[in-house]
Amino acid sequence: MSVGTKTLKPADLDTFENEKLVDELKKAKEELFNLRFQSATGQLESHGRVSAVKRDIARIYTVIRERELGLRATPVAPVKPTKAAAKAKSTEETAEETN
């Protein structure tokens, strides 16, 4: 990404879950609104920031649409074992050791 936010890289978008993508989209849209408001009142210092935020929004929409079409995989959240599952696994291991 040549221009855009430093915290929002295209490779990072692949690791985000759908809910986080929607949150990032809302943040970017709010920022774009604020930048347009600053531009209208003559307070905008960095005009390149407007196009960078627009590109970020387009990237997020692209990732969301590709996931809908099945072109891009949705990340699977790591499953944390519950205490009961961990206890059952440890009793299985001790049972195997005694046999």
pLDDT in tens, 3-25: 566 677 888 888 999 999 999 99
Q: Average pLDDT over the chain, rounded to whole? A: 83
Taking the C-alpha atoms of residue 76 and residue 71, their distance in angstroms, rounded to an integer, is 15
Token pair belonging to 56: 């970020």
Taking the C-alpha atoms of residue 13 and residue 15, their distance in angstroms, rounded to an integer, is 5
More confident call, 20 vs 80: 20
Taking the C-alpha atoms of residue 88 and residue 83, their distance in angstroms, rounded to an integer, is 9
pLDDT in tens, 31-63: 999 999 999 999 999 999 999 999 999 999 999
More confident call, 9 vs 66: 66
pTM of the model: 0.70
